[in-house]
Structure 1
Amino acid sequence: MSLFSDNLRFLRESRKESQRETAESLDIKRGRYEPYESGKVEPPYEILKKIARYFGVSIDLMLSVDVRKYRIDDLLKLDDNRIILPIMVDANGEDLIEIVPYKARAGYLTGYADPEFIEALPQITMPFLGPGKHRAFPVGGDSMPPHDDKSFIIGKYVENLGEIKKNKTYILITRSEGMTYKRLNSKNEDSLTVEPDNVIYNPYEVKLSDIIEIWEYVAHIGRNDAKLMNEGGEPLEAVVRKLQKDMAEIRTKIT
């Protein structure tokens, strides 16, 4: 628990509080608090939750990341009291977009909440994307037309489920599938029904409890972006989906 105790001491001192003042804020006595900070005693789960809420830092980071390396104000705070990553900006104050390389794809599931993992990713800036936290993810496979294999999709982080909308596409980070790109079919009480843009694959249900992150599709980076538009200027994604649905309806009528 040495990392936890170091983090606890750092967070308390950053507020310029005495051990007694912090203990009172946590509704415990100083004699009980001091061993947590010195590393002599491990706090029970209920106290851990109180500490996390009080300092606005997740239990995950308190136990596994040296928060002394980061300015607390530069961390992205989420609704569930989890801190996901430092908000990195360039010299002009523009948001830096991390690119998750193909070789780092599998490691993202364990590194998504580790600021050191995130900071080590390649970074680019795209000011035209506007406000919000953005990240680029690798895509591939025949369930993701019209995005080429080995291309990247830039997603905007979705902070709460109320923001997601039917028929929009999202990058889902789930414990069971890992990184996947799907279109929202419907939103249910405890799950989402999603579908690939290739209609040969059926819609399926994803439990909310299985979802780690949701990123809304905002842009595409590929070797041949011209493939994303047809000659008339209409997004090729819409054309492909319409043709696929028409073909599916024809097959249904024939059978």
Structure 2
Amino acid sequence: MNIKELRIQFGLSQQELAEKVGIPRGRINGWEQRGSKPKVDDHKKLEDFFIHLSKQKLTDIQKEEAEIIGNLEGLLEPENVYKTKSGNEFVDIGNGKIQMNIPLVEHYAYAGYLTGWGDSVFLEELPKHSIIVDKHYRGIYRAFQVRGDSMDNNSRDSICSGDVVVGRSVDKKYWKNKFYLHKWEDYVIIHEGGILVKRITDHWVEQGIIICMSLNTDKSTYPNLELHLSEVYEIYNVVEVSRKRG
């Protein structure tokens, strides 16, 4: 440890270093003049102090870089774009219409979403699904590409494989109350076993269980399910279904 070089590197005088570390200035001057090494206790104090300064300097640099990047992103972002912390993006397209861009979980990304649903970096890297709305909606929204035919019964209510459903998150604090099943019937359920799009037909509040039904009439393949909410990560009520023709 070259005390003088470290001291100068961090812009400290001998007196400032002495006061911050708790070592007499004369002792520090002696080490620098003679090139001698401090004893074990003093060496430990100096080592801890300079390690702390180094870490603090790195943190300051990271903060400065993050601030610069944030400022650049702000400059590059169009004025008519508004982003929320939950990952939604609103773009004013005129005539009172707003394009809402929502993180999209495509069917091949189901497995990744089960582990990354709470990771902001993972969510930021997801593609976007766009819908047209008339205001900035609060809350957490996600779009999911449907996989399988469990919700297809050849009716107008069908949710078919390849459709994209947009869901609004049901906050966990509301799971202790009975769901508004008369208002919202269909849900996206993220749980330990995977991602499901189902119709919730009942909510046993005291037991913490939801009864999930498939619209498909083949009940041998798509039976009703009882899911314990303790095994569920997220629940979204389906607010819109998008389908590509053909």
If the length of structure 1 is used for normalisation, what is the TM-score? Answer: 0.50
The amino acid that maps onto 1:104 is: A
Aligned to 1:149: 161
Select 1:212's aligned residue among 196, 208, 233: 233
Match of 1:180, as an amino acid?
L
1:216-235 aligned within 5 A: 216-224=237-245
Number of equivalences: 146
Aligned to 2:146: 139
Q: Is the 8 A contact 1:158 1:164 kept in 2?
A: no
Is the CA contact (8 Å cut-off) linking 1:134 and 1:155 kept in structure 2?
yes
Q: Is the 2:163–2:243 contact (alpha carbons within 8 Å) kept by the matching residues of 1?
A: yes
Residues 37-80 of structure 1 show CA distances to partners (whole Å, capped at 9, x for unaligned) of: x8xxxxxxxxxxxxxxxxxxxxxxxxxxxxx9799xxxxxxxxx
SS at match of 1:105: helix
Query: Within 5 A, what are the aligned runs for 1:150-229?
Result: 150-159=162-171, 160-161=174-175, 162=177, 164-166=179-181, 168-176=185-193, 178-188=194-204, 189=206, 190-201=208-219, 202-224=223-245
- Aligned 8 A contact 1:165 1:184 in 2: no
How much identity, in percent, do the aligned residues show?
26
Amino acid at match of 1:155: G
User: How far did 1:95 drift?
Assistant: 4.8
Contact 1:87/1:95 (8 A) holds in 2: no
Q: Distance in 2 between matches of 1:116 and 1:219?
A: 26
Distance 1:185 1:211 in 2: 17
Secondary structure of 1:106 counterpart? helix
String of CA shifts for 1:134-160, please: whole Å, max 9, x gaps. Answer: 211021322111222222111111112
Which stretch shows the higher mean deviation, 88-97 or 192-201?
88-97
Residue 164 of structure 1 aligns to a residue whose secondary structure is coil
Measure the CA separation in 2 of the matches of 1:217 and 1:106: 20
Matched ranges for 1:19-168 at <5 A? 86-90=86-90, 92=92, 95-128=100-133, 131=137, 132-145=139-152, 146-159=158-171, 160-161=174-175, 162=177, 164-166=179-181, 168=185
**How many Å apart are 1:129 and its aligned residue?**
7.2
Alpha carbons of structure 1 residues 126 and 150: separation in structure 2 relative to 1, 3 Å: closer
Could you tell me which runs of 5 or more consecutive residues in structure 1 were left unpaired when the two chains were aligned. 1-37, 39-67, 72-84, 226-255
Structure 2, unpaired ranges of 5+: 1-51, 53-64, 71-84, 93-97, 153-157
Once residues 210 and 150 of structure 2 are traced to their aligned partners in structure 1, the CA distance between those partners, rounded to angstroms, is 18
Find the aligned partners of 1:220 and 1:69 in 2 and give their Cα distance. 38
CA distance in 2: counterparts of 1:185 and 1:195, whole angstroms:
7
Rg comparison, structure with higher value: 2
Q: CA contact under 8 A between 1:99 and 1:121: conserved in structure 2?
A: yes
Q: Distance in 1 between matches of 2:115 and 2:100?
A: 23
SS at match of 2:133: helix
Could you tell me how far apart the structure 2 residues matched to 1:223 and 1:138 are?
A: 11
Cα deviation code 1:109-152 (max 9, x no counterpart): 00100101100011244242752332110213221112222221
Q: Secondary structure, in 3 states, of the residue corresponding to 1:155? A: strand
